[in-house]
Amino acid sequence: MSLLLNGLAASNGIAIAPAYLLVGSDLSVQKQYTNDKNHEVDRLHGSFALSEQELQVIREQAHQQLGQHAATVVDTQLAMLGDPALFDEIKQLIQKDEFTAEWAVKKVEDHYLNIFEHQNDNDYLQARATAMKDVAKRLLSHLLSVALPDPKKLDHRAIIVAKNVTPTDTAQFNRHHVAGLVTDTGGRTSHFTIMSRTLSLPAVVGTGNATKQIHDGDLLIVDGIHGKVLVNPTEDQLEHYRLLAGRFAREQASWGALRDQQTVSADGRHFEVAANAGTLDDLEDARNNGAEGIGLLRTEFLYMNQSKLPEEDEQFAAYKRFVSVMSEQQVVARTLDLGGDKRFGLMSLPEENNPYLGFRAIRIGLAKPEILRPQLRAMLRASVYGRLAIMFPMVATIEEFRRARAILDDEKEKLLTEGVQVADNIEVGMMLEVPSVAMMADLFAQEVDFFSIGSNDLIQYLFAADRGNARVSYLYQELHPAVLRTVKRVIDAAHAEGKWVGMCGEMAGNPLATPLLMAMGLDEFSMNSNQILHIRALIKKLNTRKLQPLVHRALDAKTAPEVTRLVREFVPDLKDE
Report the interface residues with ligand PEP, using CB under 6 A: 296, 298, 337, 433, 454-457, 504-505
Shortest gap between Cβ of 460 and ligand PEP (angstroms)?
8
For residues 508 and 535, give the distance between their C-alpha atoms in angstroms, rounded to a whole number.
Answer: 9
Identity at 53, one-letter amino acid code: Q
Residue 240 falls in the annotated catalytic set: no
Pick one of Mg ion, ligand PEP, none as the site partner of residue 505 (Cβ within 5 to 8 A by kind): ligand PEP
Binding segment for Mg ion (CB under 5 A), chosen from 43-51, 371-379, 447-455, 511-519, is 447-455
Q: Which does 455 bind (CB under 5 to 8 A by kind): Mg ion, ligand PEP, none?
A: ligand PEP
Among 202, 233, 454, 468, binds Mg ion (CB under 5 A): 454
Instruction: Please give the biggest Cα pair distance in the chain.
Output: 79
Our CB check for ligand PEP shows the closer of 337 and 523 to be 337
Out of Mg ion, ligand PEP, none, what residue 168 binds, judged by CB under 5 to 8 A for its kind, is none
Stated length of the chain: 577
Q: Which is nearer to ligand PEP, 138 or 343 (CB)?
A: 343
| Phi (first) and psi of residue 390, to 5 degrees | -125, 135
Phi, psi of 204 (to 5 degrees): -125, 120
Nearest distance in Å: CB 371, ligand PEP: 17
CA atoms within 13 A on the CB side of 396: 11
Choose among ligand PEP, Mg ion, none what residue 293 binds, the Cβ cut-off being 5 to 8 Å by kind: none
C-beta closer to Mg ion: residue 411 or 457: 457
Smallest distance from ligand PEP to CB 504, Å: 5
Q: How far is the CB of 571 from Mg ion (least distance, A)?
A: 28
| Strand partners of residue 274 | 526
457 binds Mg ion (CB under 5 A): yes
Asked if 63 is an active-site residue, the reply is: no
| CB-count exposure of residue 446 (10 Å: 0-12, 13-18, 19+) | exposed
- The DSSP annotation for 359-396 comes to S-THHHHHH-HHHHHHHHHHHHHHGGGSEEEEEESS--
Q: Active site residue: 69, 142, 480, 504, which one?
A: 504
For Mg ion, the closer of residues 355 and 454 by Cβ is: 454
| Least spacing, CB of residue 336 vs ligand PEP, in Å | 11
**CB-closest chain residue to Mg ion:** 457
Segment interacting with Mg ion (CB under 5 A) among 184-192, 453-461, 486-494, 529-537: 453-461
With CB under 5 to 8 Å by kind, the binding choice for 375 among ligand PEP, Mg ion, none is none
Task: For Mg ion, give the closer residue by CB, 457 or 478.
Answer: 457
Cα atoms in the 13 Å half-sphere on the side-chain side of 484: 28
In the complex with ligand PEP, the residue whose CB is nearer, 165 or 361, is 361
Q: How far apart are CA 199 and CA 194, in angstroms?
A: 9
Supply the Cα-derived Rg of the chain in whole angstroms.
25
Q: Nearest to residue 509, comparing CAs of 237, 291, 214? A: 291
Rounded distance, CA 184 to CA 10, Å?
Answer: 12
Residue 495 CB, nearest distance to ligand PEP (Å)?
21
- C-alpha to C-alpha distance for 89 and 81, rounded to whole angstroms: 12
What value, to the nearest 5°, has the Cα angle with vertex 509 and ends 508 and 513?
65
Nearer to ligand PEP, 233 or 295 (CB): 295
298 binds, among ligand PEP, Mg ion, none (CB under 5 to 8 A by kind): ligand PEP
Rounded least distance, CB 164 to Mg ion, Å: 26
- Cβ-proximal residues to 458 (8 Å cutoff; 6+ apart), any chain: 432, 433, 434, 435, 438, 483, 486, 505
| Cβ(113)–Cβ(129) below 8 Å | yes
CB 211 within 8 A of CB 184: yes
* Phi, then psi, of 575 in degrees rounded to 5: -65, -25
- Which range of residues in 25-33, 94-102, 449-457, 461-469 is near Mg ion by CB under 5 A? 449-457
- Of 142, 191, 480, 534, which residue is the catalytic one? 191
The reply on whether position 169 binds Mg ion by CB under 5 A is no
Q: What is the DSSP string of 29-94?
A: ----B-S-HHHHHHHHHHHHHHHHHHHHHHHHHHHHHH-HHHHHHHHHHHHHHH-HHHHHHHHHHH
Which is nearer to ligand PEP, 148 or 517 (by Cβ)?
A: 517
Binding-residue total with Mg ion (CB under 5 A): 2
Question: What is the nearest approach in angstroms of ligand PEP to the Cβ of residue 226?
Answer: 25
Annotated catalytic residues are: 191, 504
Judged by the rule CB under 5 A, the positions of this chain that interact with Mg ion are 454, 457
